[in-house]
Amino acid sequence: MTEPVPAVLALDPGHRKCGLAVVAADGAIATHVVVAAEDIGPAAARAMLALPADLRVQRIILGDGTRSAEARAQLAAALPDLPIDTVNETGSTLAARDRYWREHPPRGLWRLVPTSLRVPPEPYDDWVAVLLGERYWAGRANP
């Protein structure tokens, strides 16, 4: 039997919506979704239940921006066995917008518009969560 791959549950809390992602140490993104802010605890628990057996979430990575204290309380109640680390999310929104466009390249004339002038047609808070998880693992590899 092989050892499960370590992973983190990364969250970008906000007033109305939150990004949620599970990012493995090997860089794989197991899931990424946008959920309602009031649903962050139950959504995190559902995400954990839906993970493949070869992943083991070690901790929660929580962005330190908007509503992080409330999100921390909801997560601690929903997943009491996981430690929660708060991380600096400075610059993550712009980086996530760039990542969104790399993952969803524009079509037609939109390809000619600079990335900095394009706004994604859907919420991309989940990509912020992905970046927070990736930053966590990058920091662990290069202390």
| CATH code, 101 | 3.30.420.140
- C-alpha–C-alpha distance, residues 20 and 62, integer Å: 10
At 4, phi and psi to the nearest 5? -65, 150
The pLDDT assigned to 110 comes to 80
**Domain total of the chain:** 1
Reference 14, options 36, 31, 33, 44; nearest CA is 36
pLDDT tens digit sequence for 40-84: 999 999 998 899 889 999 999 999 988 899 999 999 999 999 999
Q: What residues does 85 pair with on adjacent strands?
A: 61
Q: Quote the domain boundaries for residue 16.
A: 5-141
